[in-house]
A and B are shown apart, each in its own frame.
Chain A
């Protein structure tokens, strides 16, 4: 009989806070909101600790709940697009260690303009290195839908990057 897993909540927070926070930030484009979501997700984890069976289960659970909570928050706020991202970046600017290269920042901005399903698929694919099957399990969608979202999201992001990043250079 398998030995029951006894996780330490503080250790789980230590190990996964970066993942949860990054997922929430990239899904919402709002640093402050991402912090709130991350707190809510971990508090929910605390209430569900007895049902978590392993380290992998904890990671899977955290990813799924973070994506769902972020989507809920987005629907509540009806947040969309680059404008908000820019405003949020100005108001709730990242600390110096969180700042990334200008291109990375612009790519993240463009990512925040994608439809929610495509954005979550791309974030889970490129941030979390998940396979389409793992993404499908996380977002509770058919694998074919996830693959389609990945392809369409990537195509749309390429198109936006081609236009907007070229403009960025031309404007210099």
Chain B
């Protein structure tokens, strides 16, 4: 059976009517909504996953920054402690030297008195 041939509408209002009829909305594919919702779910999962990764990276960065800052602070404190220790050692050495010199001075004074 031959397919039914379309009639040519008059090229006036009839044409526009035919055009309007030809342009009715087509039904969407039955699985379009399912695909949209599926992609939406996938995107949300991906975004959630990305957020988790972002937070993990942020936490790791904060930890690393804390460790570096702590290390620097510890080094500074250690240097201060060592400097203080060295200073105390020098002061101790100066006190010992001072005592030795005083002692020497006393002996020399006593020796001079004996000689006189």
Chain A residues with CB under 8 Å of chain B are 9-10, 13-14, 17-22, 25-26, 35, 38-39, 42-43, 46, 94-95, 97-98, 100-108, 122-123, 126-127, 154, 157-158, 161-162, 165-166, 168-169, 172
B4-25 vs A, CB cutoff 8 Å, 1 = contact: the mask equals 1111110100011011111111
User: Does B113 have its Cβ within 8 Å of any Cβ on chain A?
Assistant: no
Complex Cα distance A9/B39, Å? Answer: 13
Q: Which of B9, B23, B29, B33 contacts A95 (CB 8 A)?
A: B29
A20-B28, A165-B8 given; name 5 further pairs at CB < 8 Å: A10-B37, A17-B36, A103-B9, A108-B22, A161-B15
The count of residues in chain B whose C-beta lies closer than 8 Å to any C-beta of chain A is 31
Residues in A with CB closer than 8 Å to B33 are 10, 13-14, 17
Contact status of A168 and B25, CB under 8 A, knowing A14-B33, A43-B39, A126-B19: no
In the complex the two chains form, what is the Cα distance from A35 to B8 in whole Å? Answer: 31
Q: Which residue of A lies closest to B44 (CB)?
A: A46
Residues in A whose Cβ lies below 8 Å from that of B29: 21, 35, 95
CB proximity of A85 to chain B, nearest CB, Å: 14
Contact A21 B40 (CB under 8 A): no
19 pairs, A vs B, C-beta closer than 8 Å: A13-B37, A18-B28, A21-B28, A22-B25, A35-B35, A38-B36, A39-B32, A97-B27, A102-B3, A104-B18, A107-B22, A108-B23, A126-B20, A154-B16, A157-B19, A161-B9, A165-B6, A169-B5, A172-B2
Q: Are B39 and A107 touching (Cβ within 8 A)?
A: no
Chain B interface residues toward A at CB < 8 A: 2-9, 11, 15-16, 18-29, 32-33, 35-37, 39-40, 43
A104 to B18, CA, bound (A): 8
Residues of B within 8 A of A123 (CB): 23
